[in-house]
Chain A
Amino acid sequence: MQDPRNFKFSSDYTLPTYAKMVTCQVTTTPNQTTSVSVNTGLGFTPLVMGMWSTDSNFTKSFDITVDGFVEDISSVSVTAIGGTIKCDVSSGFAKTVYFKIYCMIPPGEEDFAPPVFDTSNFMFNSEDDYLQVYKSGFVKWKDYPTGVYSVEVPYVLDYIPKFRVWASETIDGEKAIWPVHSSIYEMYISPYTNIVQYIMNSNKLVLRNFSRNATTDENAGCYYQIYTEEA
C-alpha cells in the first residue's frame, strides 16, 4: 500500500478500455515508403496509442504522433484499418523501426466489441490511479456544412485537461482511425483526405476541418477523449 490518500477513482466517469498491445517492425527500403500490416484479431477498429523507436529496447522512443524528421526517418504513420494495424515508414536510409501499439476500444462501442480474453483479467485495485474519461465522442463531418468549420466541445473544469484526438474515415470499405498530432494555424494534412486541427482552451476543445469537400462517409470524423485529472 503506497498511500491510502492516493485513491481517486470516480464512478462518475468511465474507464477507457484497453484491448490489446500489438508489436511489429518495419525495415525501410531507402527512398521509399515501406508498409507493414498486422492483424489485431479484434472485431473492431481500435483507437491506437503507442510508440516507435529505431532500437528494439525502446531506449529512445517517440510517440506515434511524431511523424518523422527525427532519427533519419522522413515519415511515420500508424493507421488502424478494420482488423489490421498498418505502419508506414519512409527514410532515405535502410532503417528498422519498431512499434508498440496499444489498442483502445472507441467510445460508445464498448458494449458491442467482442471480449478479448488475453486482457480479461482486470482486477480493480484502489491503490492505483486509473486513466478516466471525463468526456468523449465522435464528431461526424457529414453532419456539418462543407468548407472550413469548427466543432466546439465545451467542458466545465477549473483546469485545462489532458486530451487526445484521432481522425477517421472509410478506407477500402473499412473504418480507418489514426492519431493526429496537434497544430494550430497550420493545417495538418492527414495520410488520407481529411484535414484536421485541434486546440483546447480553458473551456472548450475545438476541432477544425479544412476539407472543402462534401462527404457522405459515415466514418469521416474525429474521435476525442478528454481525461480527468488527478487532484
Chain B
Amino acid sequence: MAGYDRFILNTDYDAIKKVGEVQMSISGGNFDLSAGAYKEFNANADASYGVAFEIYSIRVSDSNLGGEVALTGARCVLEHTEAGNNKYYDYNIIIQKGTVAGKYTLRVTIRNQYSGTVHVPQFVVNAKITLYIPASSN
C-alpha cells in the first residue's frame, strides 16, 4: 500500500479498462553523423483495437545517458552531449498509429543538429503501448 489511505470506488464516474498491449523495440548505434544529418529507424507492430486511448511507456538505454531512462508520451525528445566534448545529437521518438487501423509504428530519429561530426553509441529503445477504453464501453 502506498500513497492512499482509503480506496474510493465512485460509480458516479467510469473507470477505464485495458483492452490490449503492443510492444516494439529498436536498437542500433556505432555510426557517425555529420552536422545536420539524421538517421531514422522504424519498427511496426499490429494491434487489434482501432479505437482506444493509449498510455505509452518508453525506455531508452544509451551509454551517453548514463543508464536506462523511462519516458512517457508519444513524442519524446532527448538531447545530450557526446561524452568528452561539446558535440550534441538528439533523439526524437514518435509513436503513430498506422494507416491500417490498429497498426503502430515506432519511429526513432537521431539527428545531429549542431556543428561537427558526432558518434552515436549503442542504443536501445523499447516502447510499450497499453490500450484502454472507458470501462462501460463494449
Contacts and interface: CB of A to CB of B under 8 A. Distances in A.
A186 B69 CA distance: 14
A51 B19 CA distance: 17
Contacts, number: 196
Given A63-B95, A70-B96, A124-B9, A183 B135 contact: no
Contacts of A111: 8, 10
Contact of A125 (B75, B79, B135): B135
A58 interface: yes
Contacts of B134: 18, 21, 102, 119
9 contacts: A63-B54, A119-B13, A131-B18, A133-B3, A162-B130, A164-B72, A183-B79, A186-B90, A188-B77
A149 interface: no
Contacts of B14: 17-19, 119-122
Interface of B: 1-4, 7-18, 50-51, 53-59, 65, 67-80, 90, 94-101, 128, 130, 132, 134-136
Contact of B55 (A14, A21, A135, A164): A164
Interface in A53-94: 57-63, 65-67, 70
Contact of A199 (B15, B71, B101): B71
A230 B18 contact: yes
Interface of A: 11-19, 21, 49-51, 57-63, 65-67, 70, 100, 102, 105, 110-111, 113, 115-116, 119-125, 128-131, 133-137, 155-156, 160, 162-165, 179-186, 188, 199-202, 227, 230
A201 B13 CA distance: 32
A11 B68 CA distance: 31
A42 B107 CA distance: 36
Closest 10 CB pairs of A and B: A63-B74, A65-B73, A115-B12, A135-B3, A181-B73, A182-B71, A119-B14, A17-B13, A186-B79, A200-B70
B72 A182 contact: yes
Contact of B67 (A156, A201, A230): A201
A11 B4 CA distance: 10
Contacts of B7: 11-14
Contacts of A131: 15-18, 55, 132
A169 to B, nearest CB: 19
Contacts of B59: 160
Nearest to A202: B68
A201 B68 contact: yes
